[in-house]
Structure 1
Amino acid sequence: MKLRAILVIAAAALLPAASQAAEKVNLLLNWVPTADHSPYYYAKAQGWYEKAGLDVSIETGRGSGVSAQRVGAGNTQFAIADMATALVAKSKGADLVAVMAVYANSPQGFYWLKSSGITGPKDFPGKKIGNPPGDASRVMWPAFAKQVGIAPDSVTFVNVTPQAKVASLKSHAIDITSDFYNEHDLKVREFGPDLGFVAWRDIGINPYGNAIIVNGGYLKKNRAVVENFVKISQKAFAACVADIGPCLKALMASVSGLDEANQRDQWNRIKELMTDPTTTSVALGAFNAERMKADYTMVKAYFGMEKDFDIAKTYTNDFLDPSIKMTK
């Protein structure tokens, strides 16, 4: 029996590292799972995280604010959060670092009906803009107004839930609404050629959108884990850019109630948001230093910060594979 026990121990010592207990990590999403989260589900379905020794759980989110707070407090290792929200959380003491840009472009935009007489932002004065009270576009409205040359107090904001935006616009309860570009095609189908739209990025306001963030303390102690997670996620995004079909299949196998055609439309818009000169030349998911400095200045001006910090230490491209670039 002793000899048998010795042989079992020796055999176990010879097993590959992949068979050892996987590192459990949690990814908290910014919201309910949709097309922009499909790469993580695809990577799980392909077993890529598992092969790298990672046991990844994906948790439905409740907004970027919650994601930033939980990562910052060390209650979850990874999360998806809007960068402006993450920077505000950082100023309040949240220990977080952004390790991959998902939306290299701002998804913010304004929608209206051309039949209302609005031809563009110059016609916004005197109109009603409907969105939720805490909507980021309300906070940043002074920056938008200044950029297009209208008075910040020239519009009236009306409280509208996210689910009621289209109906409120259709019933003329509001004249304009803000929304993320992901849902652009739903509005195109609803309003057709009567739909008016302006993207914030097209008028020169283009802060980074969603990004993968990690707890700073966890990063210091687990650099290899973070590198594996980031590289695999980056690889998955590249695979989904090449062919979204398998990625949506993996997403919908885990998440009920999604319409595949709608998710495919969303992904096509998301690819636009992922594309900028840095992601196409440096690496898919890479941050640009000058843009991050500009975002810091903008967030400080319009969102407010409790405490200044070094923006250069709040993000990194170190874990990205430079051979993987976003297609132009």
Structure 2
Amino acid sequence: MKKFYLQGLVVVMLMILVLTACGKSDKVKIVLDWTPNTNHTGLYAALDQGYYKDAGLDVEIIQPNESGADTMVASGKVPFGISGQDGLTQARTQNVPVVSIAAIIQHNTSGFAAPASKNIKTPKDYEGKTYGGFGSPFENSVLQAMMEDAKADYSKLKSVSVGDADYFTAIKKDIDFEWIFYAWTGIEAELRKEPLDMLYLKDFNEKLDYYTPVLITNETMIKDNPDTVKAFVAATAKGYKYAIDHPAEAAEILIKAVPDINKDLVRASQKWLSPQYQADAPRWGEQKKTVWDNYANWLTEHKLLEKPLDSDKAFTNQFLPES
């Protein structure tokens, strides 16, 4: 009798272990590219609405360390992250094994912005002005190209690094214009009733209408854990679809997750940005090879790429849900 009892106990314990394993969620981290903002709302929506949990994932959204999101993902410390096509293009040509698996926003919403009071309407007006930058050679090359196309003298533009300084603080000092993302800083200017003159990169040259930001992973994850990647992308896509269809509710989800955030800015930004996530693409996250190649070609033309980009290795649509 004791033998049968022990055998039965073993069977029950095994069943408990199996059921526990089946119900267990994979712990997954995603590292942001910056502090939380409306570029990231779909992630928080997927977390709040249980899309990650339904996909068998226990997701934690974290902030980048000093090395940045690209390095954290490339090294395997974190399986997923937020980056941009600009940084990822440079990384791929240096054999960094990061891959873009979804475009968070379809078109480049960034550009050079100046207070309307400074009367900077065209790149010709950059002559004699001071640009506040973040220290990338790429930004100065874009400015030089824009000014040369406008028959302006690039040598008459002064560029200084402002680091993480607040845009509205910088332009009240010695800075005339900066590179901003309209969905955040531009909308904040609207709320402040401080009108801007904005020159979008995509309006200057279609080759600069690149994807920013993008969702990334590394080659090892794609090779060894494709099911996890697919589940994560599918749940994230549902999160962004929620933010597209329910911008007001999605804004409140972000506010709840990040209580110290500027609530009015989140609500206004989300209303502006939600239609931009998918825009004219057939589905959220879709990426085009022409967009990747055009941008790489522009960098090559301006001697900003040491090696050609193999765009087929830089991005993939294979993990996106069909609709």
Indicate the residue corresponding to 2:294 in structure 1.
294
CA contact (8 A) 2:233 2:320 kept: yes
Secondary structure class of the residue paired with 1:292: helix
Structure 2 residue 181 is matched with structure 1 residue 180: yes
CA contact (8 A) 1:27 1:77 kept: yes
TM-score (norm 1): 0.86
CA contact (8 A) 2:131 2:158 kept: yes
Indicate the residue corresponding to 2:269 in structure 1.
266
Residues 269-314 of structure 1 show CA distances to partners (whole Å, capped at 9, x for unaligned) of: 433543443x2x2x21110111111122233445734544421121
Return the alpha-carbon distance in structure 1 between the equivalents of residues 144 and 113 of structure 2.
Answer: 18
Structure 2 residue 71 is matched with structure 1 residue 56: no
Return the alpha-carbon distance in structure 2 between the equivalents of residues 199 and 252 of structure 1.
Answer: 28
Secondary structure class of the residue paired with 2:165: helix
Secondary structure class of the residue paired with 1:207: coil
Structure 2 residue 241 is matched with structure 1 residue 210: no
- Unmatched 5+ residue regions in structure 2? none
CA contact (8 A) 1:72 1:90 kept: no
Instruction: Report which stretch shifted further, 149-158 or 201-210.
Output: 149-158
Indicate the residue corresponding to 2:146 in structure 1.
144
Indicate the residue corresponding to 2:226 in structure 1.
223
Indicate the residue corresponding to 1:69 in structure 2.
71
The residue type equivalent to 1:250 in the other structure is I
Residues 150-174 of structure 1 show CA distances to partners (whole Å, capped at 9, x for unaligned) of: 3433311133244342233234x22
Distance 1:313 1:103, change over 3 A: same
Return the alpha-carbon distance in structure 2 between the equivalents of residues 310 and 3 of structure 1.
Answer: 59
Return the alpha-carbon distance in structure 2 between the equivalents of residues 4 and 112 of structure 1.
Answer: 76
Distance 1:305 1:72, change over 3 A: farther
Structure 2 residue 86 is matched with structure 1 residue 102: no
Indicate the residue corresponding to 1:326 in structure 2.
none
Structure 2 residue 314 is matched with structure 1 residue 321: no
Return the alpha-carbon distance in structure 2 between the equivalents of residues 322 and 225 of structure 1.
Answer: 17
CA contact (8 A) 2:244 2:277 kept: no
Secondary structure class of the residue paired with 1:170: coil
Residues 122-168 of structure 1 show CA distances to partners (whole Å, capped at 9, x for unaligned) of: 32222221233348533532333345443433311133244342233
Which of structure 1's runs of 4+ aligned residues deviate more than 6 A? Answer: none
Return the alpha-carbon distance in structure 1 between the equivalents of residues 125 and 305 of structure 2.
Answer: 32
CA contact (8 A) 1:126 1:154 kept: yes
Indicate the residue corresponding to 1:8 in structure 2.
12
The residue type equivalent to 1:4 in the other structure is G
Return the alpha-carbon distance in structure 2 between the equivalents of residues 271 and 202 of structure 1.
Answer: 21
Structure 2 residue 249 is matched with structure 1 residue 249: no
What is the Cα deviation at residue 117 of structure 1?
3.6
Identity of aligned residues (%): 22
Structure 2 residue 137 is matched with structure 1 residue 128: no
Secondary structure class of the residue paired with 2:76: coil
CA RMSD of aligned residues (A): 2.5
| Selected match of 1:156 from 141, 158, 178 | 158
CA contact (8 A) 2:128 2:156 kept: yes
Indicate the residue corresponding to 2:199 in structure 1.
198
| Selected match of 1:238 from 214, 238, 241 | 241
TM-score (norm 2): 0.87
Instruction: Report which stretch shifted further, 139-148 or 89-98.
Output: 139-148
What is the Cα deviation at residue 41 of structure 1?
1.7
Secondary structure class of the residue paired with 1:15: helix
Distance 1:316 1:155, change over 3 A: same
Distance 1:206 1:150, change over 3 A: farther
Return the alpha-carbon distance in structure 2 between the equivalents of residues 45 and 51 of structure 1.
Answer: 11
Residues 102-124 of structure 1 show CA distances to partners (whole Å, capped at 9, x for unaligned) of: 12222321222333343332322
Residues 68-93 of structure 1 show CA distances to partners (whole Å, capped at 9, x for unaligned) of: 11212222111100111012122222
Instruction: Report which stretch shifted further, 132-141 or 24-33.
Output: 132-141
Return the alpha-carbon distance in structure 2 between the equivalents of residues 223 and 243 of structure 1.
Answer: 30
Residues 176-214 of structure 1 show CA distances to partners (whole Å, capped at 9, x for unaligned) of: 222111221212233545x32221122223122110010
Secondary structure class of the residue paired with 1:123: helix
The residue type equivalent to 2:115 in the other structure is L
Secondary structure class of the residue paired with 1:163: coil
The residue type equivalent to 1:8 in the other structure is V
Return the alpha-carbon distance in structure 2 between the equivalents of residues 57 and 169 of structure 1.
Answer: 36
Distance 1:113 1:53, change over 3 A: closer
Return the alpha-carbon distance in structure 1 between the equivalents of residues 20 and 47 of structure 2.
Answer: 20
